[in-house]
Amino acid sequence: MRRGWFVTAGVFLALFAGTAFLSFKLPLLDALGPGPGFFPLILALLGGVLALALVVELKRDPQAPAGAPQPDAEPFMPDQGALFRIIGIIVLLLAAFTALDPLGYRVTSFLFIVLMLLVLGVRNYLAIVLVALALSFGVFHSFYYWLKVPLPIGEFGL
């Protein structure tokens, strides 16, 4: 878990270094005062110093800083079943976002709910279909026609 903090501190350092680099390309000062690059540069420099301080503190003392996971903290990686569910959710979300415009909300959300419930371990197929119908076609009707919330129709008009 502490390795996760080291990695995160490294990500912060890279983020702040990148921001500082990009800020230098923007005007820092102009005739009216500070320019568009001024505030991000100050923040990036401050953040960079603090991220370095975090790395130093993590290296210096295995108990520091307060709040950081201790060496005996529970492992960062979830067990195999949990990892399958988490990756499954992310993959299904990626697929749904890709399919939303071409297939429309109703078809996409129907397939999304069916597959999501299967990934999460539901095996009552009648319940899966009924819930998927309610959350896809039912929700579409409520949001699109009653609440006038714009949702994608898709190329097949479904």
Partner 1 sequence: MVDTFHHLMAGFAAAATPTNLMFAFIGCFLGTLIGVLPGIGPAAGTAILIPLTFQLDATGAIIMLAAIYYGAMYGGTITSVLINVPGEAASVITCIDGHAMAKKGRAGAALGIAAIGSFIGGVVATVLLVLVATPLSRLALSFGPPEFFALMIVGLVLVTSLAGSSLLAGVLMTITGLLISLIGLDPVRGAPRFTFGIPELFDGLGFIPVVMGLFGVGEILATAEKPYREVIKTNLRGLIPSREEWKRSMGAIWRGTGIGFFLGLIPGVGAIIPTFMSYIVEKRLSKHPEQFGTGVIEGVAGPETANNSYANGAMVPLLTLGIPSSPTIAVLMGAFIINGLAPGPLLFQERPDLVWAVIASFFIGNVLLLILNLPLVGLWAKILEIPYQYICAGTLLFCIIGAYSINQSIFDLWVMLGCGVIGYLMRKLSFPLAPLVLGLILGPQIEKSMRTSLEMSAGDFSIFVTRPLSASLLALAVAILVFAAMQFAPKEIRDPNAD
Residue list 117-146, contact with partner 1 (CB under 8 A): 117, 120-122, 131, 135, 139, 143
**Integer Cα distance of 75 and 91 in angstroms:** 24
Among 10, 29, 59, 156, binds partner 1 (CB under 8 A): 29
Q: Which is nearer to partner 1, 84 or 156 (CB)?
A: 84
Which letter does DSSP use for residue 154 in this model? -
Q: What is the DSSP string of 90-148?
A: HHHHHHHHHHHHHHHHHHHHHHHHHHHHHHTT---HHHHHHHHHIIIIIHHIIIIIIS-
Regarding 82 and contact with partner 1 (CB under 8 A), the answer is yes
Distance CA 114, CA 35 (A): 52
Answer for which of 14, 21, 59, 78 binds partner 1 (CB under 8 A) is 78
Among 21, 24, 39, 156, binds partner 1 (CB under 8 A): 39
- Measured distance CA(124)–CA(37) in Å, rounded: 57
DSSP single-letter state for residue 73 = S
Spatial CA neighbour of 56 closest among 65, 47, 68: 65
Is residue 111 involved in binding partner 1 (CB under 8 A)?
no
91 is a contact residue toward partner 1 (CB under 8 A):
no
Assess 71 for contact with partner 1 (CB under 8 A).
no
Instruction: For partner 1, give the closer residue by CB, 67 or 157.
Output: 67
Q: Which is nearer to partner 1, 46 or 156 (CB)?
A: 46
Q: Which of 10, 14, 21, 46 binds partner 1 (CB under 8 A)?
A: 46
